[in-house]
Structure formats: C-alpha cells, structure tokens
Structure 1
Amino acid sequence: MTNEIMDRPNDIMRNWFNDQWSNFPTFFGDSLPVTDTLKTDIKESDKDYELHVDMPAFDKKNIDINYQNNTLTISGHRDSFNDHEDKKGDMIMNERSSGRFTRQYHLPAVDQEKIKATYDKGVLEIVLPKMEQKKASEHHIEIN
C-alpha cells in the first residue's frame, strides 16, 4: 500500500539557502518562506488518501484545490500582514510571510467526483477516495 508521494514545490534552490533569516525570492518577486510552507500529513488506507495541510491565516476563498492527471495541486495566497506597521524602524525580525504558495502530490487512482475538503482553524483536510478496483474474474478459455 506504500505510495510514492511526489512533492514538487521547487525546494532545490530554497533548501540550498535554508537558514532562519532568509527567504528565497521566486521568479515573480513573491517571497516564499524557506520553512513551514504548507506542511502536510498524508495517510493512505485501502479506501482513500487523507491529507492534513497547515495553512494558517489563509482565507478559505483564497485556497484552490485541483486534481488532474493523478496529481493533487493545492495553491493559495495570503495577503500582507498590516497589523504591526513599523514606522519607527523598531522591527528586528519579521517571519510571517505573504504571497503565493503551491504544493503538488502524486496520488493515483482517485475518484475525482467524491473528493471532499474542509478548512478549520488553519488546517485544510482533504479526503480523496480511491477508485473501486474491480476484481478480475476468472474466465476459462476453451481451446478449439
């Protein structure tokens, strides 16, 4: 039942510069956090896949979920935090981030019509039921 989960969030360059003070800018200028980008737990059973994705401070309307070609894509955006503007220059560290976030997961043989998602207290939960596998019935073939 082990499934190869492919995560393609473009981590190669971000991890190269991974330290507690830096963010790696994307091609379009948004800043993605080096750590804590859509941390995910995935469970697999005979019947389904279940994902729990940390998405704190996201507005539900800014989260997009898509399943196509055996790939689940979760994307969203978070607006800038304006709750503590620093006009005097007193800010010594700012780790909360804003911008666009995307992750992809390879999850084959999912019944697309039955996927369900909920978002509560900063956690996105997605249940992806697997397609029912028809058991091959034995068919005896006569030799003429």
Structure 2
Amino acid sequence: MTNEIMDRNNLMRNWFNNDSWMNNFPSIFDNNFPEDSTLKTDIKETDKNYEVHVDMPDFDKKDIDINYENDVLTISGHRDSFNDHNDKNGDMIMSERSSGRYMRQYHLPAVDSKSIKATYDKGVLEVDLPKLEKKVESGHHIDID
C-alpha cells in the first residue's frame, strides 16, 4: 500500500511539474510534496547479512524504534526538529522544517533476530541483520514399507 501511495504522489508531482501554469507558481507552494517525507534508505545484501542504512537527520536516538517480526524490519521515529519562530503576532511566512512520526518497513527474510545490531551516528541509522545459517541437508535413503 505504501508503494501505491508513493506512486500516486509521484504521479501528482509529475502532473504539476509538467503543467506550464504550475511551473510559474511561487516556490512557496512547492511544499505540497516534501522530499523528506520518507526515510531514505540503502539496503545491501551479502551471503551472511543485510545492511540497512537509513537517513534520519535530527532524530534523537531515544526517539527511534526498531522492530523485527515475521520477516519484516520496521523502523519508526518521532522528530521535533524546530522551535517556534513566530513573532509576537504569530507571523511566519514559510516553514519547511518537518516534525512528526515517520515509519518504513522492509521485507528481509531469514534473519537471526537475536543477533540484530544497530548504531546511530551523524543522522544515519545502521542496522546489521545477520542471516540465519542455512542448514545443508544431505540426502538420505527412505525405505518403503
């Protein structure tokens, strides 16, 4: 479902960006489709593990939650990245900084959930998910009764 929503947002963004009238609209309205609305992620797979790197700038480590269940890694967090900069009249022309709750899920099968390790440094969350060791079954003879 998340992919469908992202596809719809991309379709709308492309429609607005290709419309000449919209291209002349002031940039103050470009905030309709903020680029930072998803947690940008790199995932690397090796024979032994998955390495997940997620950009999470301005998050406090205590506000990040990581869960692995039913072959799905869920990363979520809450961010309040700004103070109120309104003047005494409450005037603010534009605010592009975001706050709120963010979440992404990744299907990563056959992980040794007890060995998952995570670090957070300079706005990047790194999660190492070791794969379960594959049991190599040797063939065996089956007798017929």
Q: Give the structure-2-normalised TM-score.
A: 0.76
Alpha-carbon RMSD across the aligned residues, in angstroms, is: 2.6
Unmatched segments (≥5 aa) in structure 1: 1-5, 25-33
Say which one has the larger Rg: 2
Return the offset for 1:86.
Answer: 3.7
Give the match for residue 31 of structure 2: 22
Indicate the residue corresponding to 1:137 in structure 2. Answer: 138
Deviation at 1:14, TM superposition (A): 3.5
Structure 2 segments unaligned to the other structure (5+ residues):
18-26
Question: Which residue does 1:35 correspond to in 2?
Answer: 35
TM-score, normalised to structure 1, is 0.76
Equivalenced residues, count: 128
Shift of 1:42: 0.4
Deviations 1:14-53 (A, max 9, x none): 43443771346xxxxxxxxx32321000000000000110
Name 1:71's counterpart in structure 2.
Answer: 72
Q: How does 1:69-108 map to 2 (within 5 A)?
A: 69-82=70-83, 85-87=85-87, 89=91, 91=93, 93-108=94-109
Letter in 2 for 1:40: T
Q: Give CA-to-partner distance per residue, 1:55-95, whole Å, 9 cap, x none.
A: 00000000000011110000001015117x1427464x432
Instruction: Specify the SS of the correspondent of 2:73.
Output: strand
Choose 7-16 or 133-142, whichever is displaced more.
7-16
